[in-house]
């Protein structure tokens, strides 16, 4: 019975989906070295020149420690580390990030895994052209395994807990519906609540005014929710059923989402860069549910893609572990 259970679990988690071919032609692909583990990134067009703000952290045990927010200028190609002024954070390990302009303030919220003190922190910064200004660090017993976050128009935020307990692999292997979405309002004395629950490995999250999109790595779900008056979420519809979904960005009416379709290869890639993990970038129309494959690779060009966004005819792709992003020139428009 135990052998049968193990085989069943293994099949559920490791069953391999085929890698679809891209429906878009690419003209050129450029590899841009950034820093270890550029897992999440956002597009910043609020200042004199457009740039990517990238959350970087060395995630492999054998790597030299590195944990910073990097800016990459999309015009000049210059990259620099953003100084975090007034930030006395002792153990900074950035993961999911989000950016939003509210009034005259540009906010950057950062998930940081304070593993040495066993704390999961949300750090808020004001973003300036050449530095970050630290504002505060937020924690709460509800925020137990944060993966990604999104800032709402009122400066509150929603964060995905990918598991009920940090690094609980069995929850993820069994595709248990134990993930939650937490809503916190820093300006209202840190008022915090469970916005929705019963998700299987909640991962990416994106807020567009009163609508929120959430991807799950397990159970093949990309869902749309409406924000209720009390901050909780009401599910509207399922937009797509795709295995292994990660972070979400927006381009016109298209949700741009990478996916990890080969879990065995992804897990092998966690420990060694030479073990390649396929990367597929999907575009899902949030109104029509039309599905397109923007980019597909067996892991040779980039492994374990985690975030993708489009700017000026180029697709930018980041990844969980290795130290570079890809710049892909698309031969056609969405």
Q: State the total domains in the chain.
A: 1
Burial string for 16-25 (b: 16+ CB within 10 Å, else e) reads: ebebeebebe
Please list the residues that pair with 85 across neighbouring strands: 133
What span, in angstroms and rounded, lies between the C-alpha atoms of 319 and 138?
26
Specify the residue for token string 């909640």: 202
What span, in angstroms and rounded, lies between the C-alpha atoms of 204 and 223?
11
Residue 1 lies in a domain: no
Q: What is the mean pLDDT of each run of 10 residues along the chain (334 residues)?
A: 36 60 88 98 97 96 94 98 96 98 98 94 98 97 97 98 79 77 90 96 96 94 97 97 96 97 85 92 98 96 97 97 97 86
* pLDDT at 16 (0 to 100): 52
* pLDDT at 10 (0 to 100): 43
* pLDDT at 176 (0 to 100): 77
Residue 304 lies in a domain: yes
Residue 136 lies in a domain: yes
CATH of the domain at 47: 2.120.10.30
* pLDDT at 264 (0 to 100): 83
Please list the residues that pair with 322 across neighbouring strands: none
Whole-prediction pTM value?
0.93
Q: What is the DSSP string of 91-132?
A: S--EEEEEEEEETTEEEEEEEEEETTTTEEEEEEEEE-SSEE
Residue 231 lies in a domain: yes
DSSP three-state, residue 67: strand
* pLDDT at 235 (0 to 100): 97
Full domain range(s) for residue 77: 14-330
Residue 2 lies in a domain: no
């Amino acid at each position: 019975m135990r052998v049968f259970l193990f085989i069943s679990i293994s099949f559920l988690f490791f069953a391999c989906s085929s890698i679809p071919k891209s429906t878009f032609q690419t003209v050129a692909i450029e590899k841009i070295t950034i820093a270890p583990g550029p897992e999440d990134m956002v597009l910043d067009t609020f200042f004199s020149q457009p740039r990517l703000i990238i959350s970087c952290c060395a995630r492999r045990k054998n790597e030299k420690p590195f944990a910073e927010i990097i800016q990459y200028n999309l015009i000049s190609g210059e990259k620099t580390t953003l100084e975090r002024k007034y930030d006395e954070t002792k153990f900074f390990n950035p993961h999911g990030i989000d950016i939003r302009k509210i009034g005259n303030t540009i906010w950057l919220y950062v998930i940081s895994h304070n593993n040495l003190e066993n704390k999961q922190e949300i750090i808020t910064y004001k973003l300036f052209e050449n530095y970050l200004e630290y504002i505060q660090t937020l924690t709460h017993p509800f925020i137990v395994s944060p993966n990604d976050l999104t800032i709402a128009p009122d400066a509150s935020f929603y964060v995905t807990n990918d598991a009920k307990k940090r690094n609980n692999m069995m929850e993820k292997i069994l595709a248990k519906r134990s993930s939650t979405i937490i809503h916190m309002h820093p300006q209202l004395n840190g008022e915090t609540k469970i916005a929705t629950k019963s998700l299987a490995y909640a991962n990416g999250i994106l807020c567009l005014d009163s609508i929120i999109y959430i991807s799950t790595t397990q159970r093949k779900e990309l869902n749309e929710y409406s924000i209720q008056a009390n901050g909780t979420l009401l599910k509207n519809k399922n937009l797509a059923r795709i295995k292994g979904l990660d972070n979400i960005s927006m381009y016109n009416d298209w949700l741009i989402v990478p996916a990890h379709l080969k879990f065995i290869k992804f897990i092998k890639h966690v420990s060694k860069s030479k073990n390649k993990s396929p990367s597929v970038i999907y575009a899902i129309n949030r109104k029509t549910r039309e599905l397109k494959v923007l980019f597909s690779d067996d892991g040779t060009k980039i492994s374990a893609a985690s975030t993708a966004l489009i700017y000026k005819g180029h697709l930018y792709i980041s990844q969980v572990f290795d130290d570079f992003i890809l710049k892909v020139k698309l031969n056609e428009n969405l």
